[in-house]
Amino acid sequence: MYRLRRRVTRGAMFGILCLVAVVMLFPFLFMGLMSFRSYDQYLTGSGFSLDSWAGLLRAIPVVQQLVNSTVVTLAAVFIILAVSTMGGYAFAKLRFPGRTVILLAIIGGMMVPLQSIIIPEFVNVAQLGLINKYPGAVLVYAALGAPFATFLMTTYFRGVPTELVEASLIDGASYAQTFARVMVPLATPALVTVAVLQFIQIWDDLLIGLLFLQVPDVRTITVGLATLQSSHIIDVPVLMAGSLVSALPAVIVYLIFQRYLIAGLTMGMGK
């Protein structure tokens, strides 16, 4: 009797989890299925066609925008990694005046809502003449990602024994050499975590791309997709093809590095 009840409960639990899985996977299924239909086939609900993919290529410069996304995202991630690793090393292992206050301020920067700074940011970048140019968006993305990355790297470097730094210094290495030869190699897992988190976040962003990269030829794919939608194209299969293309790179990064993402989340909790 007890066994039977246990079986039924486990069966029910499995059923619920499957149902939730369907709900979570639904957008992927929908995008995948619908993008391979022409508009007429979408309305009738069956068939297979590459019309929508051709339509997407006509509507926005897909390849160019994928390249834009890649360049902007990788450049910003690179800057974030560089400044947060150096900063993390300084805040965790070197004593200099003001370090506690500065670290507190930078960590506080995580709490600043993008919308609270976006207007002056836009005007400043415009005055630098960097609207519609990669470096403008890259610097903004990098500055927004830097606080959390610096926080993670500082936490990580705190866990590295100070003896390692001291031993390296006693061996005659400079602080810079110690950083390059001892700290950076040790930090690889944290670096991957930061890179993956930031890659997904920047790739998926809309607002900064929308404001700072306004011309179709420099837009990121996420922005290209959003403008496709707001230009009132009602051709759902084309929109779904665009959604799939824009989502895929971040999803692939996720699938390869998911354990680093989970690690990032737990590091964020201070575990």
Beta-carbon contacts of 8 under 8 Å, excluding residues fewer than 6 positions away, are none
One symbol per residue from 71 to 100: x for binding another protein (CB under 8 A), - otherwise; what is it? --------x--xxx-xx-xxxx-xxxx-xx
Return the residue matching tokens 């390059």: 180
Beta-carbon contacts of 57 under 8 Å, excluding residues fewer than 6 positions away, are none
Query: What's the closest the beta carbon of residue 269 comes to another protein, in angstroms?
Result: 5
Query: What's the closest the beta carbon of residue 157 comes to another protein, in angstroms?
Result: 11
The SS3 assignment for 5 reads helix
Subset of residues 211 to 250 that bind another protein, contact rule: CB under 8 A? 211, 222, 225-226, 229-230, 236, 239-240, 243, 246-247, 250
Subset of residues 112 to 131 that bind another protein, contact rule: CB under 8 A? 112-121, 123-124, 126
Binding part of the chain for another protein, among 48-56, 60-68, 186-194, 260-268 by CB under 8 A, reads: 260-268
Subset of residues 133 to 162 that bind another protein, contact rule: CB under 8 A? 139-140, 142-144, 146-148, 150-151, 154-155, 158, 162
Query: What's the closest the beta carbon of residue 42 comes to another protein, in angstroms?
Result: 10
Q: Where are the beta strands (DSSP E) in 70-177?
A: none
Query: What's the closest the beta carbon of residue 229 comes to another protein, in angstroms?
Result: 5
CB 179 within 8 A of CB 86: yes
Beta-carbon contacts of 35 under 8 Å, excluding residues fewer than 6 positions away, are 52, 53, 237, 240, 241, 243, 244
Q: Of 94, 201, 97, 187, whose CA–CA distance to 147 is shortest?
A: 201
CA angle 226-230-236, nearest 5°? 80
- Return the structure tokens found at 119: 């207007």
Distance of alpha carbon 127 from alpha carbon 130, whole angstroms: 8
One symbol per residue from 20 to 49: x for binding another protein (CB under 8 A), - otherwise; what is it? xx-xxxxxx-xx------------------
Binding part of the chain for another protein, among 46-54, 59-67, 184-192, 259-267 by CB under 8 A, reads: 259-267
- The smaller minimum CB distance to another protein, of residues 57 and 117, is found at 117
Binding part of the chain for another protein, among 49-57, 58-66, 187-195, 257-265 by CB under 8 A, reads: 257-265
Query: What's the closest the beta carbon of residue 140 comes to another protein, in angstroms?
Result: 6
CB 165 within 8 A of CB 93: yes
Taking residue 175's Cβ as centre, other Cβ atoms within 10 Å add up to 15
What one-letter code names the amino acid at 97? P
Subset of residues 47 to 76 that bind another protein, contact rule: CB under 8 A? none
- The smaller minimum CB distance to another protein, of residues 51 and 121, is found at 121
One symbol per residue from 181 to 210: x for binding another protein (CB under 8 A), - otherwise; what is it? ----------------x--xx-xxxxx---
CB 262 within 8 A of CB 189: no
Query: What's the closest the beta carbon of residue 1 comes to another protein, in angstroms?
Result: 15
